Chain A
Amino acid sequence: MAEIALNTTMSVSQEKVAAVKRSGAGDVRFRILSFSAAALVVLIFLGMMAALADGAWPAIKAFGWSFVTSEKWNPVSEEFGALASIYGTLISSFLAMGLAVPVGIGIAIFLTEICPLPLRRPIGIAIELLAGIPSIVYGIWGLFTFAPFFQEHVQPWIVDAVVDIPILQDIFAGPPYGIGIFTASFILSIMIIPFISAVTRDVFETVPGHLKESAYAMGCTTWEVVWHVVLPFSRAGVVGGAMLALGRALGETMAVTFVIGNSHRIHSSIFAPGTTISATVANEFTEAVGDVYKSSLVEAGLILFFISFVVLASAQIMLRILHKRAGGISG
């Protein structure tokens, strides 16, 4: 009896050894598989950089630095300079940030400090829905609803109001087209407000309760708690969230393409039509004939890639700093 039992256990353990070996091989295979998928993410990124550089090479060779210093964009004579697009990209994004950052932070303060508890979730979700609406919808809404309204009811009024004020009359000048840099910035800001408010709210929630409580215990008002405790504590995260939104604004295409006017000019007035890198590419790419024209559009894309890479990488670094610090405190 004992012998039989011993035999069976031996054969079972041999089977087990074989099974462990098999699954050991399966283990390695699975590990390699998941590693390759992770490596593919890096390859896509490097491939994107290489492909843009490769596609842009003819234009880089043809125009050199004048590509970023010249405003001339002439498909007929095949002379291309992206300065107007770069200017439009930067100015529309920064104008959008000017409106979206205070409003986004305000919404986060409202949601974390003021809003009655039962309403926090629904209002938070509603604001985030704004981020879910596809950008092409913002585009046609901007073109058919916002721009005509702005053209008829707001723009002439602003132009009249500032007509005698020295600098403002240049900034808000021009015939009321409705479309233009300002309209694009305004729609961009509505699109990025939910990003800023969502990140800021999450960051505000990492502020330890006892810090706020001690400030309240000293007799601080709600605003003083926000200003002296919550904001300084979460500064890195708020800046990170804002940079993330800036990255989005810089590259946003459809909403801008519809309403910016697509003109390769740099104008002192923000009511004037302009263009951005992404709007130029979206508008002209499929109609671009000739290698130099196409290549110039790719080079503009390469420039956008570098600008947004710098902005997005800084955003990630800021958010990581905060994450580490919050982790350190709670842990």
Chain B
Amino acid sequence: MAINKRIYNGRKRSNVFFLTLSTLAAVFGLIWLALILSTLFYKGFAGLSLKVFTEMTPPPGQDGGLANAIFGSVVMSLLAVAAGTPIGILAGTYLAEYGRYSKLADTVRFINDILLSAPSILIGLFIYVVIVATTHTFSAWAGAAALTVIVIPVVVRTTENMLLLVPNGLREAATALGAPRAMVIKAVTWRAARAGIVTGVLLAIARISGETAPLLLTVLSNQFWSTHLGGPVASLPVIIFNFAMSPYEDWHKLAWAGALLITIAVLTLSIFARLLESSKKQ
């Protein structure tokens, strides 16, 4: 019995030891979240004022805001979502409805998953070679194209997942009424999966609003108010990058304010997406 006791205690000790380590791992993760968010809010709010939304990016040493960068970001994101969402939804529909069990669809699914996690700077290089190098100009169009390439796989993935959750009974019922396949998809399955598809689009917007690397290679930036999409325009992430890398204190302040704006936008979008998703599941 003495030996048993020793084994027993040893097992108990290692149990306590490893479970404590696991708990510490969770604490470790939460600490960094708290540290990053508190620094961001502290420094970001210090730089935030009405001017941030109404004035242009300033030269060093002068007052200014981020209005042109916010405008550029919003325009390029809207363009990318407008172009990427229909393509993504249709491709996701093909995977879930027409090619659910086919080899071909499996290949598309595989490639889509790779694109989903492909380094975004490579997408920037790709668009640079295809668009910027052939048109000989950095432009908002090229930036929007790069963001579109990022939007598509996100929307494909969520659309497919959400369509797969739609019960087959719904499709069968509609087909039994004589509705053709396209009508079943458009009027029944899309409608049933609507919240899920919107979730996918929100996640895609969240994903592109912080993207910096592809914009750096395709749009450059612009110090002025520019609505000319055929040329460089400012965008929040690139301005943050340029300003943070500079030696000027005022620019750092604006960079923090911009970072706070992006983070608030991204976190709000992902929380909305999560709410939509969970309301769908219930």
Contacts and interface: CB of A to CB of B under 8 A. Distances in A.
Nearest to B186: A30
B152 A41 contact: yes
Chain A interface size range: 35 or more
Given A30-B182, A252-B119, A41 B29 contact: no
A227 B122 CA distance: 39
Given A38-B105, A221-B12, A136 B26 contact: no
A134 B180 contact: no
B210 A114 contact: no
Contacts of A224: 11, 15
A23 B180 contact: yes
A23 B22 contact: no
A140 B117 contact: no
A308 B108 contact: no
Interface in A47-100: 47-48, 51-52, 54-55
Given A44-B152, A55-B129, A35 B94 contact: yes
A242 B33 CA distance: 20
A239 interface: no
A36 B97 CA distance: 14
Interface residues of B, number: 92
A185 interface: no
A197 B149 CA distance: 27
B46 interface: no
B210 A123 contact: no
Interface in B256-282: 256, 259, 262-263, 266-267, 270, 274
B11 A114 contact: no
Given A42-B108, A281-B217, A301-B121, A254 B212 contact: yes
Contact of A127 (B33, B126, B149): B33
Chain B CB count within 10 A is highest, among A37, A42, A134, A221, for A134
Main secondary structure of the interface of B (DSSP, over half): helix
Contact of B111 (A45, A55, A129): A45
A211 interface: no
Nearest to A225: B15
B130 interface: yes
Interface string A301-312: 100110011001
A161 interface: no
Contacts, number: 268
Contacts of A103: 25, 28-29
Interface string A179-202: 000000000001001100100000
A312 B244 contact: no
Contacts of A316: 110, 113-114
Interface stretch (B62-70, B85-93, B193-201): B85-93
Contact of B91 (A40, A102, A197, A297): A40
A282 interface: yes
Nearest to A142: B36
B15 A253 contact: no
A90 B36 CA distance: 26
B119 A253 contact: yes
Contacts of A157: none
Given A106-B26, A143-B244, A190-B32, A51 B213 contact: no
A102 B25 contact: yes
Given A47-B130, A285-B216, A38 B108 contact: yes
Contacts of B144: none
Contacts of B22: 106-107, 109-110, 113-114
B139 interface: no
Contacts of B206: 132
A252 B86 CA distance: 28
Given A244-B117, A278-B121, A52 B267 contact: no
B220 A286 contact: yes
Nearest to B104: A38
A197 B86 CA distance: 32
Contacts of A305: 118-119, 122
A127 B29 contact: yes
A136 B212 contact: yes
B40 interface: yes
Contacts of A52: 122, 125-126, 129
A278 B119 contact: yes
Nearest to A112: B22
B115 A251 contact: no
A192 to B, nearest CB: 11
A123 B216 contact: no
B210 A134 contact: yes
B114 A309 contact: yes
Contact of A125 (B111, B156, B274): B274
Contact of A141 (B40, B97, B185, B270): B40
Of all A-B residue pairs in the complex, the 4 with the closest CB atoms, nearest first, are: A251-B119, A134-B210, A106-B25, A37-B90
Given A52-B125, A254-B241, 5 more contacts: A38-B90, A45-B114, A111-B26, A193-B29, A301-B122
24 contacts: A27-B181, A30-B185, A34-B90, A38-B99, A48-B123, A48-B126, A54-B129, A102-B25, A107-B26, A114-B22, A132-B267, A134-B209, A137-B40, A137-B262, A193-B29, A222-B15, A223-B19, A253-B121, A254-B213, A257-B241, A285-B128, A301-B121, A315-B117, A316-B110
